[in-house]
């Protein structure tokens, strides 16, 4: 902090009390800084424009000063006036007799405290002094309060010795929490702890002595305590759920019951969900599967199911979540912590507290009908939690006994993950942009109920047909049929690999099998996105022909079943066959 004495007032004092100085060397003090790093930077800057720049430590106060000199008393006054007139130095610079100046840090290795005064041939004479003396004297502003003196390293070590073992370990824990310390919490302040203290001091622009002063320790611990207070970690006992746990009560509060969950929510996106229901291992395993279909349990992250418990880590660009549940004494109990991204330190602290404190208070579990009315409001909810929906959902159909699937290329473009029936991961093995189709393979072999039989006969124009598809993006558990007619056996531009259909298809139907009344596949319904430059009437759709699909499959090592002359199926049998060969293809971006 800079001193605020008026330079002019001080000069007048020289005239009025010149005999007050008992030393031969006088200095023009320019500014004082709290840390050595700040003082070195300031002194270096002055040294680039002024002569006779020096830097000293100010006694035991812990501060550092930048000063010009040494001068005689008269020289100091004259130089001060000249530099003030030039605007070369701060207006609050003043003449000092050097009382309190101790170890010199600038120039490095110099010792000018006992040196002779410097010559000042260009200093102004008596005229300049008279000019200053004649200048009006402005009221001197009230001096700023002096900062509380900081301890020297020796004094800091002395105060540190008064700490007991737990206080020393707590300092290590806090330094570790802020990322400065990575060794054991033992209360021994060795090289690792000293280095971490120095790193913390540097981050706060303090001199990096490696020993925290009393004030610095108080600052560090107060900051940490404020951080903890912002969470409001406190034990909560939910008697209806039969669970006791520490949770961040400053961020969440009880909201509602929707069996098997007790919801605790707040305004900052933080959520705690307690899990409580009767049951054993089968209930635990079923819960493990259901939870992974929820939006608050992202697909990325480690997860593990064991005999009597499970945990699930989930993470995406918006949230992280942690879920734990265990079975004991005929009850499944657990908890879930959902936290917005970007606040990992507080999330980790809250999660650690929850993990260490979670306990069942007995056999009590939530009633099966707790919050039933609210739970039944939407098919997109599971006990008040949103079901995770794919970014894009289309249809495909099985073309091999191992579970290979044909679908539209648009269905799998740009996907981070692809699933079949929202359960089985799959990968793209081939695409044909001209046909607008893609071949995908499940990562594990599947046994489909039915495999598509591709027709080898050109269908008749105006014959009846249907497309099997997940019209509503998987909201229904099975593919449905949309009926129409064959409008043409070629595309609008005469393409011989395309059928033109007269039926009103939905986006979710794209990639589905186009079948005749015998259940044979005539083609694959193309996506409207295949030609984004045109807008067709709702009843106009297009399909890649079965013959072109057969060639595509053969090129990629799959021999498709080809049957003709089958008997006409009843509407019910046709719907069943179409549903058995069709599969929901989901894209997760």
- Tell me the backbone φ, ψ of residue 141, rounded to 5 degrees: -65, 155
Q: How is residue 178 written in tokens?
A: 């802020």
Integer Cα distance of 194 and 175 in angstroms? 11
| Cα 113 versus chain centre, distance | 55
**What confidence score (pLDDT) does residue 18 get?**
34
In the CATH hierarchy, which top-level class contains the domain 153-229? mainly alpha
**Thinking of the domain 233-386, which architecture would CATH place it in?**
3-Layer(aba) Sandwich (3.40)
**What confidence score (pLDDT) does residue 11 get?**
38
Instruction: Give CA angle at 74 (71, 78), nearest 5°.
Output: 90
Smallest CA-to-CA distance from 101 within 70, 145, 64 is with: 64
**What confidence score (pLDDT) does residue 565 get?**
54
Only one residue has tokens 């800079």, namely: 2
- Strand spans (E) along 389-476: 392-398, 405-408, 417-420, 424-432, 437-442, 464-469
Secondary structure of residue 213 in the 3-state scheme: coil
With a threshold of 0.95, does the pTM exceed it? Answer: no
Instruction: Give CA angle at 53 (52, 54), nearest 5°.
Output: 115
Measure the CA dihedral 277/283/287/290, to 10°.
Answer: -120
Domain ranges of the chain: 7-134, 153-229, 233-386, 392-588
Integer Cα distance of 312 and 303 in angstroms? 4
Q: Which residues does 1 contact at the CB level (< 8 Å), separation at least 6?
A: 32, 34, 144, 147
**What confidence score (pLDDT) does residue 390 get?**
67
Smallest CA-to-CA distance from 273 within 285, 283, 260 is with: 260
- Tell me the backbone φ, ψ of residue 509, rounded to 5 degrees: -75, -20
Integer Cα distance of 452 and 454 in angstroms? 6
Decide which of 2.70.70.10, 2.40.10.120, 3.40.50.720, 1.20.120.530 is the CATH code for 392-588. 2.40.10.120
Does residue 259 contact residue 370 with C-beta atoms inside 8 Å?
Answer: yes
Q: How is residue 161 written in tokens?
A: 């010795």
Is there a common fold for 153-229 and 233-386? Answer: no
Residues of the chain with pLDDT under 50: 1-23, 121-135, 137, 146, 374-381
- End-to-end CA, the chain: 55
């Amino acid at each position: 902090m800079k001193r605020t004495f008026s330079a002019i007032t001080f000069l007048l004092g020289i005239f009025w009390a010149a005999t007050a100085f008992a030393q031969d060397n006088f200095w023009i003090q320019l500014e004082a800084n709290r840390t050595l790093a700040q003082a070195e930077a300031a002194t270096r800057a002055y040294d680039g424009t002024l002569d006779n720049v020096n830097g000293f430590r100010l006694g035991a106060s812990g501060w550092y000063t930048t000063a010009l000199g040494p001068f005689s008393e008269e020289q100091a006054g004259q130089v001060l006036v000249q530099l003030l007139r030039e605007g070369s130095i701060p207006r609050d610079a003043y003449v000092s007799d050097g009382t309190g100046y101790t170890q010199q840090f600038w120039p490095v290795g110099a010792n000018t405290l006992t040196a002779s005064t410097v010559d000042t041939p260009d200093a102004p004479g008596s005229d300049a002094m008279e000019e200053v003396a004649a200048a009006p004297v402005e009221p001197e502003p009230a001096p700023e309060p002096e900062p509380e003196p900081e301890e020297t390293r020796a004094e800091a070590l002395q105060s540190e010795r008064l700490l007991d073992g737990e206080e020393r370990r707590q300092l290590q824990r806090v330094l570790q929490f802020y990322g400065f310390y990575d060794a054991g919490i033992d209360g021994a302040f060795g090289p690792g702890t000293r280095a971490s203290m120095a790193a913390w001091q540097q981050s706060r622009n303090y001199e990096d002595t490696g020993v925290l002063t009393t004030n610095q320790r108080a600052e560090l611990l107060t900051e940490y305590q404020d951080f903890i207070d912002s969470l409001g970690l406190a034990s909560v006992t939910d008697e209806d759920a039969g669970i006791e746990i520490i949770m961040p009560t400053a961020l969440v509060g009880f909201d509602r019951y929707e069996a098997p969950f007790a919801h605790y929510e707040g305004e900052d996106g933080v959520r705690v969900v307690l899990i409580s229901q009767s049951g054993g291992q089968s209930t635990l395993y079923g819960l493990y599967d259901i939870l992974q279909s929820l939006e608050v349990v992202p697909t990325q992250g480690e997860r593990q199911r064991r005999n009597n418990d499970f945990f699930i880590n989930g993470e995406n660009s918006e949230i992280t979540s942690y879920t734990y549940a265990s079975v004991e004494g005929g009850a499944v109990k657990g908890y879930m912590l959902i936290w917005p991204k970007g606040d990992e330190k507080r999330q980790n602290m809250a999660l650690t507290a929850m993990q260490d404190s979670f306990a069942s208070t007995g056999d009590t579990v939530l009633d099966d009908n707790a919050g039933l009315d609210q739970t039944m409001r939407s098919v997109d909810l599971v006990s008040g939690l949103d079901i995770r929906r794919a970014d894009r959902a289309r249809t495909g159909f099985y073309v091999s006994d191992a579970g290979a699937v044909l679908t539209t290329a648009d269905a799998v473009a740009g996907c981070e993950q692809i699933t079949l029936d929202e359960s089985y991961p799959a990968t793209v093995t081939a695409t044909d942009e001209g046909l607008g189709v893609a071949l995908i393979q499940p990562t594990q072999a599947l046994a489909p109920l039915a495999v598509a039989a591709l027709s080898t006969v050109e269908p008749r124009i105006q014959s009846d047909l249907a497309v099997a598809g997940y019209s509503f993006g998987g909201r229904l558990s099975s593919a449905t049929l949309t009926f129409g007619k064959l409008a043409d056996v070629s595309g609008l531009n005469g393409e011989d690999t395309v059928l033109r259909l007269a039926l009103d298809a939905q986006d979710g139907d794209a990639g589905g099998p186009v079948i005749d009344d015998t259940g044979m596949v005539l083609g694959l319904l193309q996506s409207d996105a295949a030609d984004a430059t045109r807008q067709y009437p709702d009843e106009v759709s297009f399909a890649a022909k079965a013959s072109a699909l057969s060639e595509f499959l053969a090129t990629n090592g799959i021999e498709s079943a080809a049957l003709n002359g089958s008997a006409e199926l009843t509407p019910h049998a046709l719907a069943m066959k179409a549903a058995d060969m069709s599969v929901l293809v989901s894209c997760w971006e």
